[in-house]
A and B are shown apart, each in its own frame.
Chain A
Amino acid sequence: MIKSNIKLLVLSFLLLISLKPLQSAEMADPIKVDWSFKGLTGTFDRASLQRGFQVYKEVCASCHSMQYLSYRNLGESGGPEFSEQEVKAIAASFEIEDGPDSQGEMFTRPGKPSDKFKSPYPNVQAATAANGGAYPPDMSVLVKARKGGANYIYSVLVGYEDPPPGVTLDEGVYYNKYMAGNKIKMPNNLTDGLVEYADGTESTVDQMAKDVTTFLAWAAEPELEERHKTGVKVIIYLVLLTILVYLSMKKIWSRIDSEV
C-alpha cells in the first residue's frame, strides 16, 4: 500500500519536472537532431564548430551580437580550438574602439584575443532601428534562452516556407513554421553555397544550419565538455563512496539487534 503510493509519488514528481513546454497551436515541434554534444558524454564536433564560427562571422554577425564571448574563447579547449595564431588573426581582423588615451581621445586599434566579440551595432536601439523594429537578440546564450534549445534554433534556420494560402504577411515579415505565431522578422539568410568552407565541406543550407547551431550551443555552454567529463568522474566517485559507506553502515548496525 505505502510502497505503491510511493511509486505514484515518484511518477507524479517525474511528471512535474518533465512538463511539456506550452506551445501555441500553430507552432510545429522542433526537428530532433542527433547532436554530438547530447548525452552524458557528449562532446562538440571540432570541425563543425570551426565551420559554424565561419557561418556566424560571415552571415549572423552582421546583425547579431555575441557580447559575452571573447576572441580568446575560440582557442580554449572544449571549443572550436583554433590555434593561437588563428585566434590572434581573427581578433586582429576587427577594429576595436579603445581609450580614452592620455589625451582623452578614443581611438581604434586591431582586436586582441582578450577583447569581447565586436557587436554590429553600438546599442540595442540602433540594432532595433536598423532591423525594422525587431531587435536581433544577442546570441551568447541564445540556445539556453529558447525552449527546445539547439533543436529549436536549427529548426528555425531551416523552417522558412512560403506562407500557406490565406496567410498574408506584412513587409519585412517572413513565414517560419517553427516560430511562435509562424511569423519572423529575420529573413532566410541561408542559401546553398553561401559560404565557402575552408575545409571543403559542401555548404548546403542544412549543413550551415547544423554547423552554426553547434557553434551557438558551444557559445551558450562553453563548459559543456568539461562539465560532462567532470560529471562522469564525480558520479563514479560518489557511487564508490556510497558503496563503501553502505558496507560500513551494515557492519556498524550488525552490532545491535536492529535492521538498518
Chain B
Amino acid sequence: MSEHEYTPKSKAGKWFNDRLPLLTLGAHLTDYPTPKNLNYWWTFGGILTFCLITQIVTGIVLAMHYVAHADLAFASVEHIMRDVNYGWLIRYIHSNGASMFFLAVYIHIFRSLFYGSYKSPREVIWIIGLMIYLLMMAAAFMGYVLPWGQMSFWGATVITNLFSAIPLVGDSITTWLWGAYSVDNPTLNRFFSLHYLIPFLILGLVVLHIWALHVPGNNNPVGIDIKKPSKDTVPFHPYITIKDAFALLVFMIIFAGFVFFTPNVLGHSDNYIPANPLVTPAHIVPEWYLLPFYAILRSVPDKLGGVILMFSAIFILFVLPWLDTSKVRSAVFRPIYRQFFWILVIDVLMLGYVGAMPAEGIYLVLARVGTIYYFLHFIIVMPVVGYLEKTDPIPMSISEPVLTGGAEPSLARKVNDKV
C-alpha cells in the first residue's frame, strides 16, 4: 500500500488528511501501479462495479413504488411500468441489469480461472469474490420472486423446497424460511427485505475484494510477479481508467440493446401471469444464469444428493487455490491445462443448456456427463495436470519478451497475444 508518501499540497488538505487520510487513499487509487499488459478480460472488474451501482440505484427507485404484498405486488409492478415516469426504463434496466451483472461475473470468474488469478498470493481475493458471487445468486433469486408472477412463485417454491431435503429438520427449516406453510405473503415480505439488504453486503465485500487486490496488486496475462512500480506498470489513472471506460461503454451498448429492443428476451413469459398457487407451470426454469446449477441438481435421482451436489459445485471453488498444484499461474504457459480450461467452459455452457430442457432422455444423460466432468475437472484434472504438466518457459518480466523477443520468438508472440 505504501509505494510512496503522499502529502497534500494545501494546508487544509494536510489538516484533514492527518485526521482521516482520505486524500492518501485517493492518491493511492490514482497512482496504483497496474501491469501494463492487462488485456480486455481485466476490464470486467470495473464493469461489475458499474453493474452493482446500477442495480442499487435503480433498485432504490423501484422500491419507492413497489408494494411487497402477495395481492398487490404484481399490480404494483404494472403501476411502475405504466404510471411511474420512466418506470418501464428503470425496471427494464434493473431486470436486464441482473443478467448483464451475471454475464460480466462469469467472464470475470473464467478470466481468473484462465490466468490463475486465484493462486497464491491472491487466495483471499478469490474467496471474497466467491462470497460476492453467492450473495449475487441469492439476491437475484429473491429479486426474481418480487414481481409475484407464476415463475416467481414456482421458482421460489422449488428452491425453498430444496431445504426440505435436509434430514430430520428439513421440513421445519423450510417452514421457517417461508414464514408459513407454503410460499406466501410472509415469504414475499422477507425476500423483499433481504433483496434490499444483500446488495449492500455485496458492496461491503467489494470494498474488501479491492482492498485485498491492492495488497499484492493485479495478476496479469503473463502471470508472473512484477516489481511495482517499474517499467512493467502504469499508474491506474489515466491508463486503466480510460481503458476501463472504453470497455464499459462497449458493454453499455450491449446492455442498452437488451433494455430498449428486447427487454423481455432473457426473462420468462410465464412471469407476466400473476402467481397462482393452484396452477403449476408446465416447465419451471430458473433464470439463465442459474441453469448450470439447476442441471447439476436435477442430474441426481435423489433429492438430498442433488442438493448436496449443487452446493458442492459452488463450494468446491473455495478450495480451488489448494487443488491447483501448478506453480505457473497463467494458462498461456500451460499447454495441457489450457485445453482442459476450454473443456470446462464448454461443459458449463452445456450444463446451462440442458438446465433449460426437461430432465429426461438425452438431456438427462448430458446433464450427468456434464456434472461428472465438472467435478473431475476440479478434483482430478487440476491437481494431476498441475503436477505432471511440462509448462512453457516463463519470461523474467513483462517487458522482456516484448522488448528483446530474441530468445523465444514463439513465446514473445504468445505473451503479446491480446486474447
Q: Which of B126-134, B210-218, B321-329, B346-354 contacts A (4 or more CB under 8 A)?
A: B346-354
Q: Within 8 Å of chain A (Cβ to Cβ): is B419?
A: yes
Chain A residues near B349: list those with CB within 8 A: 9, 12-13, 16
Q: Within 8 Å of chain A (Cβ to Cβ): is B375?
A: no
Q: Within 8 Å of chain A (Cβ to Cβ): is B142?
A: no
Q: Within 8 Å of chain A (Cβ to Cβ): is B24?
A: no
> Quick check: B78 and A68 within 8 Å, CB to CB?
yes
Number of A-B contacts (CB under 8 A): 118
Complex-state Cα separation, A243 to B334, whole angstroms? 36
> Quick check: A145 and B249 within 8 Å, CB to CB?
no
> Quick check: B242 and A249 within 8 Å, CB to CB?
yes
The smallest C-beta distance from A122 to any residue of chain B, in angstroms, reads 16
- One digit per residue, 1 when the CB lies within 8 angstroms of any chain B CB and 0 when it does not, for chain A 222-260 equals 110001101110110011011001101100110011111
- One digit per residue, 1 when the CB lies within 8 angstroms of any chain A CB and 0 when it does not, for chain B 232-264 equals 001000110011011001101100110111011
Chain B residues near A19: list those with CB within 8 A: 353, 356
Q: Which of A136-144, A161-169, A196-204 contacts B (4 or more CB under 8 A)?
A: A136-144
The chain B residue sitting closest to A13, CB to CB, is: B349
> Quick check: A245 and B419 within 8 Å, CB to CB?
no
Complex-state Cα separation, A208 to B272, whole angstroms? 25
Complex-state Cα separation, A232 to B260, whole angstroms? 8
Q: Within 8 Å of chain A (Cβ to Cβ): is B23?
A: no
**Which interface class (under 10, 10 to 19, 20 to 34, 35 or more) fits B?**
35 or more
Q: Within 8 Å of chain B (Cβ to Cβ): is A2?
A: yes
Q: Within 8 Å of chain A (Cβ to Cβ): is B418?
A: yes
- With A16-B352, A242-B253 known to touch, is A260 a contact of B260 (CB < 8 Å)? no
Q: Within 8 Å of chain A (Cβ to Cβ): is B3?
A: no
Chain A residues near B37: list those with CB within 8 A: 258
Complex-state Cα separation, A147 to B273, whole angstroms? 12
Cross-chain contact of B346 among A12, A230, A246 (Cβ < 8 A): A12
> Quick check: A144 and B260 within 8 Å, CB to CB?
no
> Quick check: A238 and B242 within 8 Å, CB to CB?
no
> Quick check: A246 and B260 within 8 Å, CB to CB?
no
> Quick check: A256 and B88 within 8 Å, CB to CB?
no
Complex-state Cα separation, A50 to B81, whole angstroms? 22
- With A222-B82, A227-B263, A245-B245 known to touch, is A145 a contact of B253 (CB < 8 Å)? no
> Quick check: B243 and A249 within 8 Å, CB to CB?
yes
Chain B residues near A57: list those with CB within 8 A: none
Complex-state Cα separation, A256 to B419, whole angstroms? 21
Cross-chain contact of A245 among B81, B249, B257, B345 (Cβ < 8 A): B249
- With A2-B419, A137-B273 known to touch, is A16 a contact of B249 (CB < 8 Å)? no
Chain A residues near B418: list those with CB within 8 A: 259
Chain B residues near A145: list those with CB within 8 A: 269-270, 272-273
- A contacts with B: majority SS: helix
Q: Within 8 Å of chain B (Cβ to Cβ): is A22?
A: yes
> Quick check: B272 and A144 within 8 Å, CB to CB?
yes
> Quick check: B246 and A246 within 8 Å, CB to CB?
yes
> Quick check: A22 and B88 within 8 Å, CB to CB?
no
> Quick check: B356 and A223 within 8 Å, CB to CB?
no
The smallest C-beta distance from B261 to any residue of chain A, in angstroms, reads 6
Q: Within 8 Å of chain B (Cβ to Cβ): is A182?
A: no
> Quick check: B272 and A73 within 8 Å, CB to CB?
no
Tell me the residues in window 15-43 of chain B with beta carbons closer than 8 Å to chain A beta carbons: 36-37
Chain B residues near A146: list those with CB within 8 A: 269
The smallest C-beta distance from B315 to any residue of chain A, in angstroms, reads 24
Q: Within 8 Å of chain B (Cβ to Cβ): is A15?
A: yes
Chain A residues near B269: list those with CB within 8 A: 144-147, 149
Complex-state Cα separation, A68 to B342, whole angstroms? 48
> Quick check: A141 and B272 within 8 Å, CB to CB?
yes
Cross-chain contact of A223 among B88, B239, B242, B282 (Cβ < 8 A): B88
> Quick check: A8 and B78 within 8 Å, CB to CB?
no
Q: Within 8 Å of chain A (Cβ to Cβ): is B412?
A: no
> Quick check: B242 and A2 within 8 Å, CB to CB?
no
Tell me the residues in window 135-183 of chain B with beta carbons closer than 8 Å to chain A beta carbons: none
The smallest C-beta distance from B65 to any residue of chain A, in angstroms, reads 14
> Quick check: A248 and B242 within 8 Å, CB to CB?
yes
- With A231-B259, A252-B239, A256-B234 known to touch, is A68 a contact of B249 (CB < 8 Å)? no
The smallest C-beta distance from B327 to any residue of chain A, in angstroms, reads 22
Cross-chain contact of B36 among A17, A234, A241, A258 (Cβ < 8 A): A258
Chain A residues near B234: list those with CB within 8 A: 256, 258
Complex-state Cα separation, A172 to B272, whole angstroms? 27
Chain B residues near A69: list those with CB within 8 A: 82
Chain A residues near B75: list those with CB within 8 A: 67-68
Chain A residues near B79: list those with CB within 8 A: 68
Complex-state Cα separation, A16 to B274, whole angstroms? 26
**Leading 7 A-B pairs by shortest Cβ distance:** A231-B260, A145-B272, A242-B249, A223-B88, A68-B78, A12-B349, A144-B272
Please name 8 pairs of A and B residues whose Cβ atoms are closer than 8 Å in the assembled complex, sorted by A: A13-B349, A235-B256, A238-B249, A238-B256, A242-B250, A242-B253, A245-B245, A245-B249
| A interface list, Cβ under 8 A from B | 2-3, 5-6, 8-9, 12-13, 15-17, 19, 22, 40, 67-69, 73, 137-138, 140-141, 144-147, 149, 180, 220, 222-223, 227-228, 230-232, 234-235, 238-239, 241-242, 245-246, 248-249, 252-253, 256-260
- Other 17 A-B pairs with CB < 8 A, given A2-B417, A234-B260: A5-B345, A6-B419, A9-B345, A12-B346, A12-B353, A13-B349, A16-B288, A67-B75, A68-B75, A137-B273, A231-B261, A245-B249, A252-B242, A256-B234, A257-B403, A258-B402, A260-B243
